[in-house]
Amino acid sequence: MKKYNNSFKQRSGSIIALDADGVLLDYNAAYRLAWERAFGLLPDLRDKNAYWAIDRWDVSRLDGMELIKFRACFDEQYWKSIPAIPNAVKACEELCSAGYELVCVSAIESQFQHARLQNLQECGFPIERVIATSGSNTGISPKAAALRELNPIAFVDDFLPYLRGIPDDIHAALIMREPNGSPNLGGELNLAHSLHPDLQAFASWWLSESRCVE
């Protein structure tokens, strides 16, 4: 596993880019509430260690009109109401106190960019900017172009494929959350400079005196 060059440590005024869903916000919990909104039933937990929401909750796979009905619940109201992951606000506050500017870089449609920012701020995150990149089927991270332009010192995501194609001089930190069905495995783990169980662990490590070059 690559280690990040310690000479970049705690540069005042540097930007740290953060993914939202799975890093700052609990998408899985919001998915469950969207299901209840669509079908009037709050699904039970199926697998607490499942990476994907559809495997975590006791729900069926949808098609046809039911799928259209469910997707309609992923509207502005949804993107404004996702709960924060425990300790994520605290982690961001620690990074800001150390002099870093935090920018959320999220693969959502641009029409929901303001809703995402409002959601983050209402949760208490010290974040003033969201960059919406939409999705991509090119094999390269849909966030790569935005990250090249933003030029942060570090980028934190929980989805390994979104590290593809980002500049190597940006520290790529991968959040290794629920393991069952996770895409965060295999040879591409070499794209990550560091691995962490959550954002609080990343912040503690990033700000520690023990971070060094291997």
The pLDDT assigned to 139 comes to: 79
* Positions marked catalytic: 19, 21
Taking the domains of the chain in order of start, what are their residue ranges?
6-26+82-206, 28-79
As a whole number of angstroms, the distance between CA 173 and CA 153 comes to: 11
The pLDDT assigned to 212 comes to: 52
pTM listed for this prediction: 0.90
Say what percent of the chain tops pLDDT 70. 89
What are the DSSP calls for the chain, one per residue? -----GGGTT-TT-EEEE-SBTTTB-HHHHHHHHHHHHHS--PPBS-TTBSSHHHHBT-PPP-HHHHHHHHTTSSHHHHT-PPBPTTHHHHHHHHHHTTPEEEEEE-S-GGGHHHHHHHHHHHT-----EEE-----SSS-TTHHHHHHH--SEEEES-GGGGTTS-TTSEEEEE----BT-S--SGGGGG-SEEESSHHHHHHHHTSTT----
**CATH number belonging to domain 6-26+82-206:** 3.40.50.1000
| Inter-residue contact 159 to 22 (CB < 8 Å) | yes
Across the chain, mean pLDDT equals: 91
Per the structure block, which two tokens stand in for 180? 């069952």
Say what percent of the chain tops pLDDT 90. 87
Which residues does 170 contact at the CB level (< 8 Å), separation at least 6? Answer: 17, 147, 151, 152, 153, 154, 155
pLDDT in tens, 81-136: 999 999 999 999 999 999 999 999 999 999 999 999 999 999 999 999 999 997 66
